[in-house]
Amino acid sequence: MATWPEGVARHVLASVDSTMNEAARLAPGLSGSAWIFAHEQTAARGRRGRAWRAPQGNFAATLVMRPKGGLAHAALYSFVAALALEAALSHAAGPHARLAIKWPNDVLLSGGKIAGILLESLTPDGSQLAIGIGVNLAEVPARDTLEATAMAPVSLLGETGMRVAPQDFLPMLAQAFDHYDSQFRDYGFEAIRNAWLARAARLGETITARTGRETHTGVFETIDATGALVLRDGQGRRAISAAEIFF
């Protein structure tokens, strides 16, 4: 059983509209970091305000924290969270699980999406950050709740046969996040970047990045010091800060 990180609060709820909404409500009264976990969400949301539904037995939680360094620094916590998720899932699934991290903020198991991350700044200067995390521990979402172009979802139980209760996964994730947060604070983003690249899905392969207006296809070379995806195509190297990625 993972130990709980020192100095981090924990709020466990039977039901809530959304752990992200609860994070926003609690944040003004928090002096430090806090995990908000719910067994049920009635109005959860994903990226760009999309409705998000978690079947029973899956994991949903939000971490509220106070990063230092402004909005650009806070945005790099997407990579910290992805590393923590990959580590917690590796602990839960065992050493033979085929895990990878898909830029910018999904975790893959056996090539399918098992987890996603949502970052929202709760203040204009990025001094309070909410990191929402959803993991398919037991079931996959119904296909009709997903976008047509969405990556096929998988679950931990379906792919590995491992059954992990959401409340047991929480300390695994909290401990892993505390570890990588310490790495980030002590050694900077370069340490996080190197660890992330070692786990990156399709690094060195041809992928497609779609922004709101453009589509770019090229070789995924790296991520830069800002976390931007670097593609190499016939026109040279291109840094992309925000996009949907397709394999």
pLDDT digit string, tens, across residues 161-208: 999 999 999 999 999 999 999 999 999 999 999 999 999 999 999 999
3-state DSSP helix/strand/coil percent for the chain, to nearest 5?
Answer: 30, 30, 40
13-15-16 Cα angle (round to 5): 95
Give the mean pLDDT of 45-49. Answer: 58
Residue 48 has pLDDT above 60, yes or no: no
| Ranges in the chain annotated CATH 3.30.930.10 | 9-197
Give, rounded to a whole angstrom, the gap between the first and last alpha carbons of the chain: 36
Taking residue 62's Cβ as centre, other Cβ atoms within 10 Å add up to 26
Query: Is there a contact between 173 and 85 (Cβ–Cβ < 8 Å)?
Result: yes
Q: Which of 152, 129, 131, 128 is nearest to 142 (CA)?
A: 152
Taking residue 225's Cβ as centre, other Cβ atoms within 10 Å add up to 10
Give the mean pLDDT of 110-129. Answer: 95
pLDDT of residue 149: 61
pLDDT of residue 45: 66
CATH fourth-level superfamily of 9-197: Bira Bifunctional Protein; Domain 2 (3.30.930.10)
Give the mean pLDDT of 16-42. Answer: 94
**Which of the four pLDDT bands, split at 50, 70 and 90, describes residue 43?**
confident
What's 206-246's CATH class?
mainly beta
Residue 37's SS3 state is: strand
pTM: 0.93
Q: What is the pLDDT of residues 54-69, one digit of tens each?
A: 778 999 999 999 999 9
| Ranges in the chain annotated CATH 2.30.30 | 206-246
Residue 1 has pLDDT above 70, yes or no: no
Average pLDDT, the chain: 92
